Amino acid sequence: MERPRHRLHKQLPGSPEPDDHNERSDQEEYAGAPNPDVLLPVLDERELRMLRRAGREWGQMSVRPEEWPQALPVDPDLGSYPGARAIRPTRFGRFVRIKGRGGQLPAVETTSEMEALPSLWGRFLQTARRILLGPPLSATAIALERMRKLVALPVLSADAISSIAYGPQAMLAILVLAGGPGLGYSLPIAAVIAFLMLAVGVSYRQTIRAYPHGGGSYIVAGQNLGRVAGLLAAAGLATDYILTVAVSMAAGVAAITSAIPSLASSTVVIGIGAIVLLLAGNLRGVRQAGSLFAFPTYAFIVAMAALVTVGVVHAAGRGWQPLPHPPVTATEGIGLLLLLRAFSSGSTAMTGIECISNAVPAFQPVEWRNARTTLTWMIGLLITLFAGIMALVALEGVVFDPNVTVLSQLAVRDFGPGLMYAFTQASTAAILLLAANTAYNDFPRLLFLMARDRQAPRLFLAIGDRLAFSNGIIALSVAAVVIFTAFGGQTEALIPLYAVGVFLAFTMSQTGMVVHWWHHRKEVHWQRSLLFNAAGAVLSAIVFITAAVTKFTAGAWVTVIVIVLFIFTALRIRRHYDLASQALALRPSRPGKVSRPEPAPRGRKPPAAEPKRRQPLKTKNLSQKVVRDEAEVEEAPEEIHHLTIVPMATLDLANLRALAYAASFEHPVLALHVSPTEQEAGRFRDYWRIWGNHLPLQVIVSPHRQIVAPFFHYVWSLRRQRPDLTLTVILPEIIVKHWWHRFLHNHTAPRLRRALRPLPKVVVTTVPFHLPH
């Protein structure tokens, strides 16, 4: 695992970074909530050396710090913004009204409106956003809340326990294809899954102990197995989170439509509405903990426990005699393939088990011990409820019905269609919504971690003004809406996509743990831990392969393709960032400083010899200058040789002001005019003479009336003639007051800027001219 560029632990600047950064510190980097205030990359010793070296080249351009006040025509110390704690931001403003030290910072409220164009529409959007999302928060508001076990249990196990709402049903949906004999296999398969839950749970207990600062699959796999393994885990997790939202929404909507069938036709609309609500809530920055979030899980647990208890009492009343299930017609024979498909569908009941191991630092001390206890409770609850529901299904002869969920069927039989039934359905919908919300916490954090490793776009590092990873939240919502809509919001259609990603992540994580224990052979119980994790890895791998193979045509191919694309993209992104940071790194100046002689002049006129230098400071003879490569190379300020080019369309105030600006730097200035004919060119030259002929003028005759192409061509040719020069192109730009006035003016300046962008060492300057009306 490469060292991430953004570190969370504070390092004293100037002090060399410890070279022996051991695993402990790596773990600390990933710990807990990310700190949004550490943006500046930490420089290592080599980088600091380069920085010092880069500075030494500045020579006489340097202004000694004691001269700074005299070197500037202004007093730069305008006061500072008040600290976050000192004054709270207003509802709609980022900063409060301030006077500033010395009264120099004017008393204005800088809202983020100032960042947008000052249009009515922009202001409307800004206000709407503030009303929807609330006032901006200061970074200090990120306080890691420590949860008691009884709070952590409902919050962190919602994802896992809610899986009971769709796991058993997904299994039955496959078995029913084989008719009555098929349904007979439900209990054996359930037993295997329950065992698997136990194994994976025990396996994650090891992870919690080894990664007390939080060990997501991405981190564990990446640190122990390497970058690609980490990406495999990340890809699995990413599809897992997206599908958690989609499947939870589908199952939640199904819980509602089972109770109110008339809503069935609006499945997609309700689901998208719920996702949008989650989006808005998470952009607003919903806190993870709190009784609001504990309630649905406990309600669901109560409902399920009541369901199982009542069912068991009923069954005991009739002497444990299973009720006959309604007649089902077999459409497929029983075969290994069918049973494996049923198994992999049913194993979706295990999704969400990894949540607690991600969030170890959120527990009260001793964190890892409390987390382990909570995990044990959760696994116990999960297995009990899963086994109970599966037993009830067998006892009460419930079969899969595409219109009514299995839980709804059981609740109607046990409770009748009264208040208790409504409570069951409502708590099911609520816990599913909560489970989806878990994905909204984890997906953006995964992208953040990937972005920190430069494997995802940097924009996922950004923390919005509500301290949420807004970009990740939006990305998750978009992906979930797409997948939810594409599959019509049907749980059964989404299930085949689901298991693949989850068990890929499980497998990578547990395999990583095996390697971890092998490297930590000194720790106590390492053999036992390694054994548990190895068992977990093997079992997860079996489920992963089973799911990928048996469900491939049913939809798993979508997940497989997404995973492959995800990894490919992440690798490409990493490559780009690596190359970019190489290109941007300070390096020894002019490593291969070759003294190529000036090429012999090929033109009719020889290139100008020794131009008249106005500034006595510059004494080097230009014609002796080393002509360097065309590419951009580092230059100390004194080595930069300027030529300023001002395209003059006409001789109005805007153009002359740009010219005056250019001339004021006292470097060589060349005015350039593009004209369609020689006659017009002559006319411009005449005007130039009337103006006074103060500066060199060149007129390009462009018979096809193009302006940008000949201008670009000319600048390009100048660069070929003297690649050592830095060309500054000064563009006058008319700024209008209202956006609709923009249609009334040419936009040559932006077009020239775009055209010149690919040229090295061509600097573009825009001199604004503001129309007063």
| DSSP single-letter state for residue 696 | -
Cα separation, 406 vs 401, in Å, equals 7
Stretch of 78-86, 389-397, 408-416, 419-427 contacting a second copy, by CB under 8 A: 78-86
Rank residues 328 and 708 by Cβ distance to a second copy and give the closer one.
708
Of 111-170, binders to a second copy (CB under 8 A) are: 111-112, 114-115, 117-118, 136, 138-139
Helices (H) and strands (E) in the chain, counts: 25, 5
**Intra-chain end-to-end CA distance of the chain, in Å:** 58
Q: How far is the CB of 471 from a second copy (least distance, A)?
A: 10
Would you say 534 or 643 has its CB closer to a second copy? 643
Of 139 and 565, the one with the shorter C-beta distance to a second copy is 139
395-454 residues in contact with a second copy (CB under 8 A) are none
Contact between 619 and a second copy per CB under 8 A:
no
Q: Which is nearer to a second copy, 524 or 617 (CB)?
A: 617
Instruction: Give the type of residue at 43.
Output: L
Residue 591 touches a second copy, criterion: CB under 8 A: no
Residue found by looking up tokens 């709609």 in the block = 92
Report the distance separating Cα 250 and Cα 624, nearest Å.
75
Q: What is the rounded CA–CA span in Å between residue 562 and residue 234?
A: 12
Whichever of 76 and 319 has its CB closer to a second copy, that residue is 76
Minimum separation from the CB atom of position 470 to a second copy (A): 12
* Token couple for 82: 């008040």
What is the DSSP code string of 10-41? Answer: ---TTSPPPS---HHHHHHHT-SS--TT--SP
Q: Of the ranges 170-178, 266-274, 496-504, 727-735, which one interacts with a second copy (CB under 8 A)? A: 727-735
The verdict on 701 binding a second copy (CB under 8 A) reads yes
Joined tokens for residue 175: 């078995």
**88 touching a second copy, by CB under 8 A:** no
Q: How far is Cα 318 from Cα 302, in angstroms, rounded to an integer?
A: 24
Provide the pairing of β-strand 725-735 with 697-701. unpaired
Tell me if 717 contacts a second copy by CB under 8 A.
yes
Q: What sections of 163-226 are H helices per DSSP? A: 167-175, 179-183, 186-210, 217-225
**Interaction of residue 657 with a second copy, rule CB under 8 A:** yes
- In whole angstroms, how close is the CB of 412 to a second copy at the nearest point? 50
Tell whether residue 274 is a contact of a second copy (CB under 8 A). Answer: no
Q: Each residue of 42-54: b (16+ CB within 10 Å) or e?
A: bbeeeebebeeee
Which helix or strand (DSSP H or E) is residue 56 part of?
helix 45-56
Nearer to a second copy, 98 or 499 (CB): 98
Nearer to a second copy, 96 or 387 (CB): 96
Tell which positions 462-491 bind a second copy, by CB under 8 A: 463, 465
* 653: contact with a second copy by CB under 8 A: yes
Q: How many residues bind a second copy (CB under 8 A)?
A: 187
Give, as ranges, the residues between 6 and 35 that touch a second copy (CB under 8 A). Answer: 10, 13-14
> Binding a second copy by CB under 8 A: which of 40, 260, 336, 524?
40
For residues 276 and 744, which CB has a smaller minimum distance to a second copy in the complex? 744
Taking the complex as a whole, the smallest distance from the CB of residue 423 to a second copy amounts, in Å, to 44
Q: Which of 95, 377, 552, 557 binds a second copy (CB under 8 A)?
A: 95
Closest to a second copy by CB, 148 vs 683, is: 683
Q: Is 3 in the site for a second copy (CB under 8 A)?
A: no
CB within 8 A of 178, min separation 6: which ones? 330, 331, 332, 333, 334, 338
Smallest gap from residue 90 Cβ to a second copy (A): 12
Pick one of 110, 266, 364, 485: the residue that binds a second copy (CB under 8 A): 110
What letter represents residue 677's amino acid?
T
The answer for 489, left when phi > 0, alpha when psi is -120 to 50, beta otherwise, is: left
Q: Which of 46, 478, 637, 739 binds a second copy (CB under 8 A)?
A: 637
Q: Rounded CA gap, 130 and 123, in Å? A: 11
Helix (H, G, I), strand (E, B) or coil at 642: strand
Q: Is there binding between residue 65 and a second copy (CB under 8 A)?
A: yes
Name the token pair of 452.
């920190």
Integer CA distances (angstroms), 314 to 317, 320, 413, 656, in order: 5, 8, 10, 95
The yes or no reply on residue 43 touching a second copy (CB under 8 A) is: yes
**Of the candidate residues 316, 459, 564, 565, the single one contacting a second copy (CB under 8 A):** 459
Does the footprint of a second copy cover residue 588 (CB under 8 A)?
Answer: no
Do 330 and 178 form a contact (C-beta atoms < 8 A)? yes
Q: How far apart are CB 707 and a second copy at their closest, in Å?
A: 9
- The answer to whether 393 touches 172, Cβ cutoff 8 Å, is yes
Please say which residue, 259 or 762, places its beta carbon nearer to a second copy.
762
Using CB under 8 A, pick the residue from 1, 31, 48, 538 that binds a second copy.
Answer: 48
Minimum CB separation of residue 690 from a second copy in Å reads 5
Half-sphere exposure of 240 (CA within 13 A, CB side): 35
Q: Which of 23, 28, 33, 81 touches a second copy (CB under 8 A)?
A: 81
Residue 546 CB neighbour total at 10 angstroms:
20
Binding mask 670-699 for a second copy (x = CB under 8 A): x----xxx-xx-xxx-xx--xxxxxxx-x-
Classify 57 as helix, strand or coil.
Answer: coil
Q: Residue 419 burial by CB count (10 A; 0-12/13-18/19+): exposed, middle or buried?
A: exposed
84 binds a second copy (CB under 8 A): yes
Paired tokens of 409:
């069927």
Torsion angles phi and psi, residue 701, rounded to 5: -95, 120
51 touches a second copy (CB under 8 A): yes
**Selected binder of a second copy within 125, 331, 709, 739 (CB under 8 A):** 709
* 762-770 and 725-735 strand pairing: parallel
Nearest to a second copy of 114, 131 (CB atom):
114
- Considering the complex, what minimum distance in angstroms separates the CB of residue 219 from a second copy? 23
Is residue 107 a contact residue for a second copy (CB under 8 A)?
no
